Structure 1
Amino acid sequence: MNSDNPEHAMTFGELLELIHDQQRRINVLETAFSYLAFGLEKKSCQLLTHSLKLEANNQTYDEKTQQYFAKLAELFEMRNSGMGDIPSTNSDRVS
């Protein structure tokens, strides 16, 4: 809590709600983005998957971010291969 500036103070509960809201928004964006594979031509999807794999190996990102890129690339590959109902991405699933 910022006691120097009460206008910017927020309770712990408000902070948690803000974090949960951001997590929900990110999950929606990840899911929407992962469904792009169904609307792209095969070559475009392959190029996107390749680009995501390059980002997964980009050393300027921390390890967790690289894992997220790799997981998204994996989902695009599975969807592009026609495997059907692949679960959407979720930030909590990266180990």
Structure 2
Amino acid sequence: MTRIVKPPRKKRQELVNMINFNGSARDYITEILSKFGLIPQFVVPFATIEQISRMSEAAATISICGTLGGYLGNGLEQQYGVPYVKSIQPYGIAGVTG
């Protein structure tokens, strides 16, 4: 992050960094976020170096796994003010459907 991500040229209120290391549910995530007018930018390992360099332009960062996404999420929040959405992952039927 310290050598690739650059300061934002322009903030994009519709862009959300989505840290999803194995790519599960990409279509579903895109569909859900589009209902709110948001565009997910899937990073690691799905982004180009150019896309990663512009992660600071996003409105927020979401991670499927807080443990694995914490470095990027926290770093973007601390260094560039990109809010990192920290939420507990849903577990079990009640967590997913409730």
Query: TM-score if structure 1 supplies the norm length?
Result: 0.28
Larger strand proportion of the pair: 2
Larger helix proportion of the pair: 1
Higher relative contact order (CA 8 A, sep 6+): 2
> Based on CA coordinates, which of the two structures has the bigger radius of gyration?
1
Query: TM-score if structure 2 supplies the norm length?
Result: 0.27
